[in-house]
Structure 1
Amino acid sequence: MHSSMSEAVVSGVDAEKLCSLPVPDYFPAAVVRQADQNIFADMSDKDVRKSLLVEQVPMPELAPDEALIAVMASAINYNTVWTAMFEPIPTFQFLKQMGRSGGWEARHDLPYHIVGSDASGVIVRTGSSVRKWKVGDHVVVSPAYVDEQDPDTHRDGMLGEGQKAWGFETNFGGLAHYAVVRASQLMPKPAALSWEESAVNPLCASTAYRMLVSERGARMKQGDVVLIWGATGGLGAYAVQLTLNGGGIPVGVVNSAAKAEVLRSIGCEAVINREEIEDGDPTLLERPDGWKKMGKVIRSLVGEDPHIVFEHVGRKTFAASVFLARRGGTVITCGSSTGYEHIYDNRYLWMRLKRIIGSHGANLHEQCEVNRLFALGQLVPALSKTYSLDEVGAAARSVQTNQHIGKVGVLCLAPRPGLGVTDPLARERIGEHRLTAFRR
C-alpha cells in the first residue's frame, strides 16, 4: 500500500507539499537476506528468483550529507545478479565492513541488503549539510559512493580507498520505493526522458565513457577501430554509441542474428555474430585457432586490427582480446562476467607492446559529462524492457541468463512506463524512433 508521501510524489505535488508530509516508516524494497546465503550450496543453477525478494523494510535515518529519494524507476545491473547469487562473495561482507567503520556507516550492516545501483526519482528529504539540491528536484543517481575526506578522492573519485558501488557494496540501493544517496551522487534528470529511460543509464553509460573517452581510459581518437564484446548488452550498447559519436569505428560482437539487427539499427555497420564464428563450438574463441579466425573476420569487415578492445566478459574472451588488439593497442577491462581468473598468452602483450588498462565505474565529473550527452540527445537509452518492482526476480533472471538486450528497467513508484518527461519539445527533437531503438 502506498503512503501519502508516495502518492504525493506520483501525483507530482510541489516541494512545499512534499516537505509537509511524513516519510513512511516502512517501504517495499528488493532485498537479499543474510539467512539465505547458503541456499544455492547444492544447486548448479543459482536462480536469482529464489533469493531476490520484495519485502517491507524500515526507513533508515538520513545522514547530514545525504538525500532521501522517492525512486520512480531503477534498473538491473550484473552486480545485482552477483549479489543475488552470493558470488563471488556474499555482499554482507561489504556491509559488515561498513558497519565496523562506525558512525553513519554502521546503519548499513543489516541482515538484509537493499540492492540496486541505478535510480531516477524525486528528492523528498535532504540532510542538514546538503546545499546544491532541494526537495522536489528530479534526479538520477551516480552509483559511485566516494569518501570525500580521502585525499585520493580529490585526484579521482574512483581512487579513494573508501570508494564503493552504491547498492552493491552499500545498503539502501535503488530497487525500492525509497533510496538513500549521498549528495555527491546526484545529477539532474534529463528532461526529455521518462523515469525508466533515465534510470537505466548512469552505471553502464558512465562506465563505458570512462573506458573509452576519459583520459583515464583508452583515450579513443577519431578513426580508432574498437572491438566491443557484448555489443547489445548494457555496457556494449553505450560503447557503440560513444565510439560512433567520437569518430571511431565500432566492431560489435553479439550472439544472435536478432541482436545483430538491433546493432545495425543504431548505426554499427561492422557486426560479428559469435554463433557464426563458433559454428557449434562454444570454446573456439578460447583457443588460438578461434582467435585467428576472429581476427580474419575483423579485417574483412574494417580492413585492420582493433586499436582498442572493450572487454568486460572476462575468462571466455580475455585471451582473444589480448591477441586481437593491434601492435601497440589497448585492452580496456571493467569486469569479468564469465570468470575473474584470466589465462592469456603474454607474448602477444609484451612483444607487441600492448596495454591492459583496468577501469572501474566513473567519477562524478565523468558521470555528469555522460548525463549531459543524454540531455542533449547525443546518447540514447539502451532500455529494452521494463518490469515492475514485484517482478524484480524475473527481471534479474533475464540478465543472469543473457536473455535481454541493452538495459532492463524496473518501475518502482512510477505506476506505468512513459511518465516523467518534462520537456516534450526536446524529446521531439531527439526523436521517438531513436529513443525507442532497443524496445523495437
Structure 2
Amino acid sequence: MSSLADALIGGAKPAEIERLDLPREYVAAYLRKEDADMFRDVADKDVRKSLRVGLVPMPELAPDEVVVAVMASSINYNTVWSAMFEPVSTFRFLRQFAQQGGWATRHDQDHQVVGSDGAGVIVRVGSGVRRWRVGDHVVVSPAYVDDQEPATHADGMLGAEQRAWGFETNFGGLAEYTVVRASQLVPKPAHLTWEEAACNTLCAGTAYRMLVGANGARMKQGDAVLIWGAAGGLGAYAVQFVKNGGGIPIGVVGSDAKADAVRKLGCDIVIKRSEVGLDDDASNDPGQAIAIGKRLGSIIRGHIGRDPDVVFEHVGQATFGASVFVVRRGGTVVTCGSSTGYQHVFDNRYLWMKLKRVIGSHVANLQEQLECARLIDSGHVVPTLSTVYPLAEVGEATRLVQTNGHLGKVAVLCMAPQEGMGVSAPERRARLGAASLTPLRGCSARVEATA
C-alpha cells in the first residue's frame, strides 16, 4: 500500500491527507476492451473470466470532481451486464461519452474500472468544488449528471447526459480510488461500517425513488405492494420502504432460505416462485403470463382480499406480463430494470382497459438520495448486507450475483483491510443495536440459483 493508504487506514487528519501524494496507479477491478467479444456464442458468460484485478493509472481530476479513497464497494447487476458485455459492450458508452470532448475524453480507455457503489474518504477536491473537503466520509451516488443541462434542474435523472457511474462511465467504485463528480456525494451514515455503508446507495436510492419519491409510484399508507425478487439487492430495500410507509409488502422469492430472509426484514406475505409456476419461461407467451398472474392474484387475495396496488418490477422479461395483469384496476407497475431480458411481452388489454399505469424509474436524483440516506442514518432503514469479499475476489462476488446465489447485497472491501472499520458514531450504533443493522448477515448467502 502507498503512504496515503496507510495514513487513511490509520485515521489521518485532513492536513496529512492533503500533504501526501496520490499514487500514480491504484488497484482496481476492470474490463479490457480487447475482451469484448470473448463471450460471443458462449452459453455461460462467466464473469470471472472477464473481470480482472490489477493496477490502473490515476486519472486527472476535473474542477467539479473529487478523488475518493474507496474503503468498500458492492456488487450491482450493472456490473454483471458490463462483465458479460451485454446487451452491448460498455466500451461503447465510454466512446460515446468521450465524443463530448474536454474532460470526457479521459473515459475512453482500453480498460474500464467498473462498480456503481462506494463508501470512503475524500482525498482531493477539484478547484470548483465548494461543499466538500478533504477528509470527509462519503458514500457515492451512481447518478452521474450534467448540472449545465436545463432538464437536470427539474430532476437530475431527466438530463439527456445522465449516466450511471462505473457502468456508462469509467473510474468506477470497485477500486482503491475513484474519481466522481461532487454532485454524486452524500454524507456517510456515521454509525455504519464501510462495508455496510457501501451497500446502500444504488439499490436503496433506486427503490426509494420507485416507491416513495414524487417521481415514482407514490405509495400510500395501506397500499399492498408486490415485490419481485424481494430477497435481492433492490427488493430487500423495497420491503423496508413499504413496511415503514404503512404498506403491505408482498415478496416473491425463489427459495425457503430467501423466504426466511425477507421475513426478517418485515415482509408480511411471502410467495415462492414455484407456487405460481415461474420455474418455467413465460417470457414470450402472454397467455402463460396471464395464467401466472391469475395464480399470483389468487394467492394475494387469499391473504388480503384484493389485488396489489403497486408492483415493484426489475426482473423484466420473465415477470412483466404477469405484473401488468395482476396489479389492480388503476394500479401502478413501476420498473427500473430487466435482469432477465429487456423484451417484454404482455397483453395490452389489461393495461388500457383497466386504466393501469407503467412508470419507468432510473436510479435517484441527489435530493432523493439524501432523503433515503436520512432514513438509513436514523436506523429506520438498514443495510441489506449478507456477505463480504475482498477486492482480489471480485470475480467470485460478481458471479454470485450473476447466478442469483446471493441475498440482499454483496459487499467488497477495497482499501479497508478488514470488516468493521469506519464507524465514527459508536454511541448511535450501540443505541440502534449493531446486530439489528445487518439482519441478513446471519442468513445463508449461497442458496439455490433461481432467477
TM-score greater than 0.5 by the shorter chain = yes
Q: Which residue of 2 aligns with 1:328?
A: 330
1:422-433 map, 5 Å: 422-433=424-435
Q: Which residue of 2 aligns with 1:345?
A: 347
Structure 1 position 302, deviation (Å): 1.9
Q: Which residue of 1 aligns with 2:208?
A: 209
2:292 to 286, 290, 303: 290
Query: Is the CA contact 1:381–1:435 (under 8 Å) kept in the aligned structure 2?
Result: yes
Paired with 2:242 and 2:278, the residues of 1 have a C-alpha distance of 29
1:146 aligns with 2:145: yes
Q: Which residue of 2 aligns with 1:175?
A: 174
Paired with 1:226 and 1:349, the residues of 2 have a C-alpha distance of 18
Paired with 1:123 and 1:344, the residues of 2 have a C-alpha distance of 47
Any gaps of 5 or more consecutive residues in structure 2?
443-451
* C-alpha distance after superposition, 1:248-286 (max 9, x if no partner): 100000000111011111211211011233286454994
Q: Per the alignment, do residues 279 and 201 of structure 1 end up closer, same or farther by CA in structure 2, a change over 3 Å counting? A: closer
Paired with 2:349 and 2:281, the residues of 1 have a C-alpha distance of 25
1:303 aligns with 2:305: yes
Q: Which residue of 2 aligns with 1:407?
A: 409
1:90 aligns with 2:89: yes
Paired with 1:214 and 1:435, the residues of 2 have a C-alpha distance of 24
Q: Which residue of 1 aligns with 2:134?
A: 135
Query: Is the CA contact 1:218–1:357 (under 8 Å) kept in the aligned structure 2?
Result: yes
Paired with 2:10 and 2:49, the residues of 1 have a C-alpha distance of 34
Q: Which residue of 2 aligns with 1:270?
A: 269
* C-alpha distance after superposition, 1:167-197 (max 9, x if no partner): 0000000000000000001111000100000
* C-alpha distance after superposition, 1:200-237 (max 9, x if no partner): 10000010000001111101000000000000100000
Paired with 1:421 and 1:3, the residues of 2 have a C-alpha distance of 23
Report which stretch shifted further, 278-287 or 367-376: 278-287
Report which stretch shifted further, 297-306 or 75-84: 297-306
Paired with 1:62 and 1:51, the residues of 2 have a C-alpha distance of 28
1:8-407 map, 5 Å: 8-278=7-277, 281=280, 283=282, 286-407=288-409
SS in 2 for 1:371: helix
Q: Per the alignment, do residues 281 and 117 of structure 1 end up closer, same or farther by CA in structure 2, a change over 3 Å counting? A: closer
Report which stretch shifted further, 339-348 or 276-285: 276-285
Query: Is the CA contact 2:289–2:319 (under 8 Å) kept in the aligned structure 1?
Result: no
Percent of aligned positions that are identical: 62
Q: Per the alignment, do residues 159 and 183 of structure 1 end up closer, same or farther by CA in structure 2, a change over 3 Å counting? A: same
* Structure 1 ranges of 4+ moved more than 4 A: 279-286
SS in 1 for 2:96: helix
Structure 1 position 75, deviation (Å): 0.4
Query: Is the CA contact 2:118–2:140 (under 8 Å) kept in the aligned structure 1?
Result: yes
Structure 1 position 55, deviation (Å): 1.5
Q: Output the amino acid matched with 1:254.
A: V
TM-score with structure 1 length normalisation? 0.98
Any gaps of 5 or more consecutive residues in structure 1?
none
Q: Output the amino acid matched with 2:176.
A: H
Paired with 1:279 and 1:45, the residues of 2 have a C-alpha distance of 21
Paired with 2:162 and 2:322, the residues of 1 have a C-alpha distance of 31
Query: Is the CA contact 1:227–1:253 (under 8 Å) kept in the aligned structure 2?
Result: yes
1:417 to 419, 431, 449: 419
SS in 1 for 2:399: helix
Q: Output the amino acid matched with 1:134.
A: R
Paired with 2:213 and 2:137, the residues of 1 have a C-alpha distance of 27
Paired with 2:305 and 2:429, the residues of 1 have a C-alpha distance of 38
Paired with 2:288 and 2:192, the residues of 1 have a C-alpha distance of 40
* C-alpha distance after superposition, 1:334-366 (max 9, x if no partner): 000001010000110011010000001100000
TM-score with structure 2 length normalisation? 0.96
Query: Is the CA contact 1:286–1:317 (under 8 Å) kept in the aligned structure 2?
Result: no
Q: Output the amino acid matched with 2:43.
A: S
Paired with 1:42 and 1:136, the residues of 2 have a C-alpha distance of 48
Paired with 1:139 and 1:279, the residues of 2 have a C-alpha distance of 40
Paired with 1:215 and 1:18, the residues of 2 have a C-alpha distance of 40
Q: Per the alignment, do residues 279 and 46 of structure 1 end up closer, same or farther by CA in structure 2, a change over 3 Å counting? A: closer
SS in 1 for 2:387: strand
Paired with 1:142 and 1:431, the residues of 2 have a C-alpha distance of 26
Query: Is the CA contact 1:286–1:316 (under 8 Å) kept in the aligned structure 2?
Result: no
